[in-house]
Structure 1
Amino acid sequence: MHGRVSGLVYAIYYPVLAALGVAGNLVTIVILSRGMCGLSRCITRYLMWMAVTDLLVLITAVILDRISTLHFPVLFLHTTPVCSLRLALIFAARDSSVWLTVAFTFDRFVSICCQKLKSKYSNKETAAVVIGVICTVSCVKNIPMYFALEPLSIIDNVPWFCNLRWNFYSDVLWTMYNWMDHMLNPCAPFLLMILLNALTVRYILAANRARRRVKGNVEEQIDSEMQNRRKSIVLLFTISGSFLVLWATYVANFLFVRFVKSNYMTGSNPNNPRFIFQECGVMLQLLSCCTNTCIYAGTQRKFREELKKGLKFPLKLIGKKSEFIF
């Protein structure tokens, strides 16, 4: 009974996630590419490429992996070569998305807390280089994942499905690669996000106290600089905060597996609390690829205005066509 319930949850959750996430990220890419949101070109580049990589995660991990497995269990996508390529692309897109979020957080940390480095680092040229390096390294790093898999079965000389090689957890090189992979994602990004946000908060609190002392705590006087700073950090904290919250379960499960020397649960244990906890972590992690559009709409007035214009545009076209007909 529980297995059928979990299957129904997956069958509803992942298509809805894909539909909303793909539409939201496409809209975000279009709006940000227009450059009409009042954000600097540096911030715009980071946010737009975060949306691009989030879109790739949804396509590879949700549509081509989760949904195809649920609804089309025997498909060419599940032949071993395609399955191996799909897994490598999932990991590459996931790593790019995560590390671009870290890069954006670091850029905002430099812009807010390191005024001497701000002009040299927080610019569109540096952002382009950082984005290119992150995406390239993520792709190269995950090439070995293609070769880490072997066929689960061979039918009519065609290899089907993917299974980790028998020596993946025993061979020294594969063990080193596996540890490196998990240290680079999710451990290092998670810790860096916490550290950078903690340092940013400490700097902002100290700066605000200093400015209040200089201004003599006159409440009637409007401190425009503090207001601007407050607006600039809202975007940072909402993006990084949602990342930390939605990845927390996934990271907790990873740490449990590593330090208790346990294994990841398979689909043959749908009623096991560990399996439910593990799958909740994956579901929340993938949900993080859909939240940024809501964050921009909730925190950026000009983004909301551009979004409203985009929603009204089809209605205007319909109205013009109706006038032309009549």
Structure 2
Amino acid sequence: MNSMFISAIESAIDYNNCFQRMCPYKCVLIFYIYVRTVNVVTIVILSRGKCGLSEGVTRYLVAMVAADQLVVLFDLVLSKIPVTYWPIEFVNWSGRVRVCNIHAVLFYAATDCSVWFTVTFTFDRFVAICFQELKRRFCTGRAAALVLGTVTVLICLKNICWYFMLDELFSSLNRSLICLTSDRLFSHSQLATFLLIHFLLTPIFPFVLILLLNSLTIRHVFVASRARRRLRGSRVGETAADPEMKNRRKSLLLLLVMSGNFILLWALLTVCSVWESLIFYIYSIPPESLRELGYMLQLLSCCTNTALYAVVQARFREQLKETVKSPLRLMAKCTRRCQDCINAR
């Protein structure tokens, strides 16, 4: 039983195994450069405010992309560096300054922010679609900034606990840096309680909350659509356009695409998290291959925002095309000027 418990803890904090055996470090770096590029482009396009989205929605989407960027940075780059890439002096120094502990706090804080920003965005759209009287008061840019800031502070305070969960030592295993659990400050029951709370807050509770909010939102849209169709049909005919329902459908489409992407790519990891949180009741842990596949799907969710926005938002597609064409136009302009200078000589 103790061995299973230790395995569950190590699976929760061992963010080095996933992706390491399947791809060498150079492939990880290339993947990070790709993700960083598309996420930065997405943030720039959304920040311009030319995609036809409200200020509140724009802030939520930018925060989600930025959090995904930090997850990829802390997970793929800072924790996938083999020991052979660092001199032994750095490994000894990193143990003295608790680099492993600091990295654990940053990694889990970024992951929690990525998840809970999706929850806040889902709740914001739920309020905007289902409660029109509250939309002007709570679905604003100022409210979004306040909510995102509060969630970030609470998440950082919660994840400070990881700093005391790990020893300040590294273990060389398969040429990667592994954090060791600390059994000097906490008993198994205390560690199990913390892990249960950790799994409940991310991703079990957000997963259930997003499903619930989406179900309520879809139900409200269908009911309101039928009611407005009957009302407008009795007055101006069935073929008349309804701009209000058209705007609601657009908001619902963006909501379902973003939250659906989270649900699909986080489903397997959520199942593994529930499994691991019940270790004292079922006396088993998820297979390592299943857990690693869940981690990889979770990382994949950090680089799909650009494609999703391009599919859903026509104005975003236009801005993306313009952003891609701008450097090409600049290069062509510089080439023509250089050619003119050469011809003038």
TM-score interval (norm. to shorter): 0.7 to 0.9
Q: Distance in 2 between matches of 1:108 and 1:310?
A: 28
Distance 1:168 1:292, change over 3 A: farther
* Deviation string, structure 1 residues 239-278 (Cα, Å, up to 9, x no partner): 000000000000111112223545667xxxxxxxx11100
Structure 1 residue 212: Cα displacement: 1.7
**Is residue 262 of structure 2 the alignment partner of residue 243 of structure 1?**
yes
Structure 1 residue 110: Cα displacement: 0.2
Kept in 2, the 8 Å contact 1:151–1:161? The answer is no
Kept in 2, the 8 Å contact 1:25–1:55? The answer is yes
Q: Which moved more, 1:218-227 or 1:26-35?
A: 218-227
Structure 2 letter corresponding to 1:93: A
Distance 1:27 1:152, change over 3 A: same
- 1:301 paired residue number: 314
Kept in 1, the 8 Å contact 2:171–2:179? The answer is no
**Is residue 241 of structure 2 the alignment partner of residue 222 of structure 1?**
yes
Q: Which moved more, 1:177-186 or 1:42-51?
A: 177-186
- 1:117 paired residue number: 134
For 1:191-230, list aligned pairs within 5 A.
191-216=208-233, 218-230=237-249
- 1:30 paired residue number: 44
* Deviation string, structure 1 residues 113-154 (Cα, Å, up to 9, x no partner): 011211111011111100111111111111110111114569
* Deviation string, structure 1 residues 73-95 (Cα, Å, up to 9, x no partner): 87747934112111110000111
**Is residue 21 of structure 2 the alignment partner of residue 46 of structure 1?**
no
- SS of alignment partner, residue 65 of structure 1: coil
- 1:271 paired residue number: none
User: Number of matched residues?
Assistant: 308
**Is residue 331 of structure 2 the alignment partner of residue 318 of structure 1?**
yes
Distance 1:163 1:219, change over 3 A: same
Structure 2 letter corresponding to 1:233: L
For 1:1-326, list aligned pairs within 5 A.
9-11=22-24, 14-15=28-29, 17-66=31-80, 68-69=81-82, 72=85, 76=90, 79-80=94-95, 81-152=98-169, 161-166=178-183, 170-216=187-233, 218-261=237-280, 262=283, 274-325=287-338, 326=340
Distance 1:22 1:300, change over 3 A: same
- SS of alignment partner, residue 78 of structure 2: helix
- SS of alignment partner, residue 166 of structure 1: coil
Distance 1:317 1:70, change over 3 A: farther
Aligned Cα root-mean-square deviation (Å): 2.5
Q: Distance in 2 between matches of 1:162 and 1:110?
A: 42
Distance 1:86 1:153, change over 3 A: closer
Structure 2 letter corresponding to 1:180: I
Q: Which runs of 5+ in 1 are unaligned?
A: 1-5, 266-273
Kept in 2, the 8 Å contact 1:238–1:295? The answer is yes
- 2:5 paired residue number: none
TM-score scaled by length of structure 1: 0.86
Kept in 2, the 8 Å contact 1:250–1:285? The answer is yes
Structure 1 letter corresponding to 2:205: A
* Deviation string, structure 1 residues 192-236 (Cα, Å, up to 9, x no partner): 100000000110110111112112384432222222211111111
Structure 1 residue 56: Cα displacement: 0.6
Q: Distance in 1 between matches of 2:243 and 2:30?
A: 42
Q: Which has the larger radius of gyration?
A: 2
Q: Which moved more, 1:135-144 or 1:176-185?
A: 176-185
